[in-house]
Amino acid sequence: MATNLQQGKSRSPQSEHSEGGRGQLLMTEDVLLSVRNLSTHFFSREGVLRAVDGVSFDVKKGEILGIAGESGCGKSVMAQSILRIVPSHGRIVDGEILLQHDSGVVDLAQLDGRGDLIRSIRGAVVSMVFQEPMTSFSMAYTIGNQIIEVIRLHQEVDEKEARIRAIDILRRVGMPKPEENIDAYPFALSGGMRQRAMIAMALSCHPSLLIADEPTTAVDVTIQAQILELMKSLQHEMHMALVVITHDMAVISELCDRVMIMYLGKDVENAPARELFSNPKHPYTIGLLHSVPQLGGGKSQKIEAITGMVPSPYNRPTGCPFHPRCPEFMPGVCDKSEPPQVIVGPNHSVRCHLYI
């Protein structure tokens, strides 16, 4: 146990005022966030769980990036790593999370997770909509109290002005009767209204990047469409970048400019959304797309589930992590070595032995 925990502390954090040193000159102006070779591991008596295992991607300013994959593939831990809210038994053990900030390029991976700089970034520059609003809001305070607290934390305004701004953002996200519902407690709101309140709180300080983790999981199908349309319109209106984390490929097709597919902590395919849906390369991506009903496909369309289950992260397969479930499995190749990232087209990369 002690050995594992020591491994997790192998990084030596830089000063709170560091600007990310070695990666600073490599970011172009159109890139807001650059995640490079990021690995986040959890350490316990059972062993080391490599939740995120060498993932790289960029988010451009004003872009919508979708991160997709089955439950347990590392999507949410990726988001937690960016915000530096990984649970205490987890550690970022390698890689960079470079963010364009007022003072230059900041490597979030090197910051103290409880320090002043990350606290000033979290909520104001990078914000997040969590999966379940009921667990994200405190039940002891009104939604207005909680939104006002966030506004006053990051903006120099008095309580009266903060309340005006809170009502305004509630109105912009489509909250019914915002002047009244600002004083409602979370448990008194419907699922759709709670989701809108959560989006309002995340947007209250006009962040440059919003991360939405399964934003439609807790609401019914009718409300899902409304939430997706709301997020798309707000993203355009506020000129912010948006990262949508989901297992639902239909959500990806509706919202996103680019897509990254994750499997067992790895980024297995990264491409523009249109390219990925029309020309998927990785067998896992193809399986995900075949498992989703196509609009207008009729009753005769064939839905194919991906065979097998996601392996235990404590007992990862050797070689390519997908090979035990892969219809293109090549014995002696896929089970022996991990495939490198291969460029297969403009802005299109894949980790698969089929393309080496």
Stronger pLDDT, 312 or 84, i.e. the higher one: 84
Residue 179: predicted pLDDT: 96
Look at residue 173 and tell me whether its pLDDT is greater than 50.
Answer: yes
Q: Sign of dihedral through CA atoms 350, 126, 163, 187?
A: positive
Position 133 scores a pLDDT of 66
Q: Is 117 helix (H, G, I), strand (E, B) or coil?
A: helix
Long-range contacts of 48-51 (CB under 8 A, 24+ apart): 48/4, 48/7, 49/313, 49/314, 50/265, 50/313, 50/316, 51/77, 51/90, 51/265, 51/313
Strands 31-44 and 47-60: antiparallel
Looking at residue 294, its pLDDT comes to 62
Can you give the pLDDT at residue 25?
Answer: 41
More confident residue, 27 or 57: 57
Which of these ranges, 16-20, 117-121, 163-167, has the smallest mean pLDDT?
16-20
Which pLDDT value is given to residue 26? 60
273: number of Cβ within 10 Å = 18
Q: Which pLDDT score is estimated for 296?
A: 53
| Strand extents, DSSP E, the chain | 31-44, 47-60, 64-68, 90-101, 104-107, 126-129, 209-213, 241-246, 258-263, 266-272, 341-345, 348-351
Given a cut of 60, whether residue 185 has pLDDT beyond it is yes
* 77-90 confidence digits (pLDDT tens): 999 999 999 998 99
Determine the pLDDT at residue 301: 63
Per-residue model confidence (pLDDT) at position 344: 96
Of residues 190 and 280, the one with the higher pLDDT is 280
Quick one: average pLDDT of 297-315? 77
Q: Of 20-29, 92-101, 323-332, 347-356, which gets the smallest average pLDDT?
A: 20-29
Provide the pLDDT for residue 299. Answer: 62
Is the predicted pLDDT of residue 37 greater than 80, yes or no? yes
- Per-residue b/e over 181-210, b at no fewer than 16 CB within 10 Å? bbebebeebeebbbbbbbbbbbbbbebbbb
Given a cut of 50, is residue 2 above it in pLDDT? no
| The pLDDT of residue 21 | 41
Residue 11 has pLDDT above 90, yes or no: no
Is the pLDDT assigned to residue 152 strictly greater than 50?
yes
Contact 268, 341 (CB under 8 A): no
Residue percentage of the chain with pLDDT more than 90:
63
- pLDDT, mean over the chain: 87
Of the listed ranges 71-75, 117-121, 225-229, 261-265, the least confidently predicted one is 225-229
Q: Which pLDDT belongs to residue 28?
A: 85
Domain extent listing, the chain: 285-355
The band of 14, judged by pLDDT with boundaries at 50, 70 and 90, is very low
Query: Given a cut of 90, is residue 10 above it in pLDDT?
Result: no
| Residue 295 reports pLDDT greater than 60 | no
Q: Does residue 17 have a pLDDT over 90?
A: no
